Structure 1
Amino acid sequence: MTLNVYLSGEIHTDWREQIIAGAEGLDVRFNSPVTDHAASDDCGVAIMGAEPSKFWHDNKGAKLNAIRTRKGIEDADVVVVRFGEKYKQWNAAFDAGYAAALGKSLIVLHGADHQHALKEVDAAALAVAEEPVQVVQMLRYVLTGGLPG
């Protein structure tokens, strides 16, 4: 069984790389949003033309990025959403809600200090992890039935 896993959320740490490296040898295909912050912010105006207002600049980029995000979440068997320490990731919360609304298997990844703020998101998830290695262990268990050893 191949799992299609969409890795959503913060882009300022290497959590995606940790999960991908840890899942080596498992039958998993990963997908994610564009993680180049500048490209993600400026894609709309770079492709469709400049905007005088920052609102419309961001709006163009958000809509263009949503094409990739929606497709990735819709095609996923499992959606992992990471909430980082540095910024409030409203887009990550939106992705988690979208995945939950589609009935996707949702794993939420965040530190203990965000537990209260994310309690509703956590309640929609099938699993909550604090470290990327736990996500890898979850994927391994789902695919093989094997526990961490």
Structure 2
Amino acid sequence: MSGLEWTVYLSGEIHTDWREQIEEGTKALGLPIHFVSPVTIHEDSDDCGVAIMGDAPSDFWKDQMGSRMNAIRTRTLIEQADAAVIRFGDKYKQWNAAYDAGICSALGTPYITLHDEAINHALKEVDGGAQAVARTPEQVVRTLQYVTTGVLNRAAG
């Protein structure tokens, strides 16, 4: 598989720099990976429906308009991805990330979950469908190095 450029979808929490850590780590290794993600500006993601289509009659419909519009991006990017990384943080519940894992599973897109051990139980089904469960962005980078190049970096572990 060496020589191919991979597309990896980065899903999940938006309050830490995990995406940047993974992108910087893969870049430092020269891995053939292009990253894509959902809209990570929370206000834009929430408000896109009403900002484009106009006012909603209630907060429920505001959320529906935005989530359906965001789903166009999410599903398209996951369908086109070679793999996904789905991050669950401990501060907020990332229901959308769990939904993304379900989309990956349904479409046959391999995914790696990234989360602390403290939330293992809550994510047992999501982890059960994952091809790898990582605890750190570094583990994700090393996994991506192995699957994209076939090179096992033993020294880093």
TM-score by length of structure 2 reads 0.92
Counterpart in the other structure of 1:6? 9
| Partner in structure 2 of residue 90 of structure 1 | 95
Report how far residue 143 of structure 1 moved: 1.8
Report Cα offsets for 1:78-100 as digits up to 9, x if no partner.
01110111111111101001101
1:131 aligned onto 2:136 = yes
Q: Deviations over 1:72-117 (max 9, x none)?
A: 1000110111011111111110100110111111101110001111
Counterpart secondary structure, 2:9: strand
Post-superposition offset of 1:52: 3.1
Counterpart CA distance in 2 for 1:145 and 1:73 is 23
Q: Percent identity?
A: 62
What is the alpha-carbon distance in structure 2 between the residues aligned to residue 144 and residue 46 of structure 1? Answer: 43
Q: TM-score, normalised by structure 1?
A: 0.97
Q: Residue by residue, what CA displacement relative to the aligned partner does 1:11-49 show, whole Å, maximum 9, x if unpaired?
A: 111111110111101100110000000000000000000
Residue in 2 that maps onto 1:72: 77
Deviation at 1:50, TM superposition (A): 1.1
Match of 2:40 among 3, 10, 35: 35
Determine whether 1:54 maps to 2:24.
no
Shift, 1:142, TM fit: 1.0
Cα distance in 2, alignment partners of residues 79 and 87 from structure 1: 20
DSSP-derived class of the 1:23 partner: helix
Amino acid paired to 1:63: R
Q: RMSD between aligned alpha carbons?
A: 0.8
Q: Which runs of 5+ in 1 are unaligned?
A: none
Residue 51 of structure 1 and its aligned partner are, at CA, apart by 1.4
Give the AA of the match of 1:19: I
Residue 145 of structure 1 and its aligned partner are, at CA, apart by 2.2
